[in-house]
Amino acid sequence: MISLLRNQKVRNALLQILYVGSIAAMVLAGIVIARQNLAAQGITSGFDFLFKSTGWDLNFSLLPATANDPYWWYFLIGIINTLFLGTVGLTLATIVGTIVGLARTSSNELARLLGRTYVDIFRNIPLILQVFFWYAVITHLPTPRAAHEGWGFLLTSRGLYIPFPNVSSAALAAATLAVIAAIALPIWLGRTSRLSLPVGQRGGIQLAGTAAALACAAIVLVAGRLADSPLLDFPALQGLNLRGGLRIPPEFATLAIAIAIYGGSYIAE
């Protein structure tokens, strides 16, 4: 035993075990004390609250939500909304970054200057400050009665209202999958090694695949239109509020814009 303690590796292992064990004991003691204090005050602990109704509504949700839904459903909605925001933000950031990147490599001196200025400015402004700025801008837009209108889009302090298809949920889901296929198909065709074709022919196949997927999306939307209703539902002022179309809340628009501008500066660089 004494010979083992003289071994430096054994002593180091024992010290590490003692250190980790003391931390685990402190955490366990804290949990036990917290449970005892909660029980003394009549407060129960555990995960039973996940199955209780929230009692409040959500401002934005891709899934159906009511005030009677349980907390676990709201947690799931939060995860879905976060993934959706990330997808939208990354897509917009890629578009912005590509445009600015092309401007930086352009032969036009003014375009290069603008691209370099954009990257130097927005890359060095923290994302949280950009979120605060764009939220202040959006929330100070005109009210619905004085909304900025153009091509069916309405920009107000309550969010952005855009035309939306009057189609069934199944048709909308199928059209969304078709659009995703239109984006993913040319990428896959460009990287796969199964097609031993020249670059020109491969590009033609990519274009044809994208066009076919978009055509399928359009056909599904037209076929899935709700009865006795136009294909597109345009937002319009009714009373003191706007009705129709799709409303993008200020919070979602703020985060999407900030992520697109901030991420686009890094992509452009």
In Å, how far from its chain's centre is CA 34? Answer: 37
Tokens of 122: 């927005």
pLDDT category at 148 given cuts 50, 70, 90 is confident
Res 200: pLDDT: 62
- Is the pLDDT at 150 greater than 90, yes or no? no
Could you tell me which residues come within 8 angstroms of residue 165 by beta carbon, excluding any fewer than 6 positions away? 172, 175, 221, 225, 231, 232, 233
Residues 267 and 98: beta-carbon distance below 8 Å:
yes
Res 130: pLDDT: 95
Res 265: pLDDT: 93
Per-residue buried b or exposed e for 86-105, using 16+ beta carbons within 10 Å of the residue's own CB: eebbeebbeebbeebbebbe
Q: pLDDT, tens digit, for every residue of 12-28?
A: 888 899 999 999 999 99
Q: pLDDT, tens digit, for every residue of 70-126?
A: 989 999 999 999 998 998 999 899 999 999 999 998 888 998 999 999 999 999 999
Once rounded to an integer, what is the mean pLDDT over residues 242-247?
82
Percent of the residues in the chain that have a pLDDT greater than 70, as a whole number? 93
C-alpha–C-alpha distance, residues 129 and 127, integer Å: 5
Once rounded to an integer, what is the mean pLDDT over residues 160-184?
85
Res 266: pLDDT: 92
Res 197: pLDDT: 61
- Is the pLDDT at 194 greater than 80, yes or no? no
C-alpha–C-alpha distance, residues 20 and 189, integer Å: 52
Q: What are phi and psi for residue 225, nearest 5 degrees?
A: -65, 140
Q: pLDDT, tens digit, for every residue of 51-64?
A: 888 888 888 887 78
pLDDT category at 136 given cuts 50, 70, 90 is very high
Could you tell me which residues come within 8 angstroms of residue 183 by beta carbon, excluding any fewer than 6 positions away? 210
148-150/153-156 β-pairing: antiparallel
- Is the pLDDT at 48 greater than 70, yes or no? yes
- List helix spans (H) across 108-249: 109-122, 127-139, 169-191, 199-223
Once rounded to an integer, what is the mean pLDDT over residues 141-164?
83
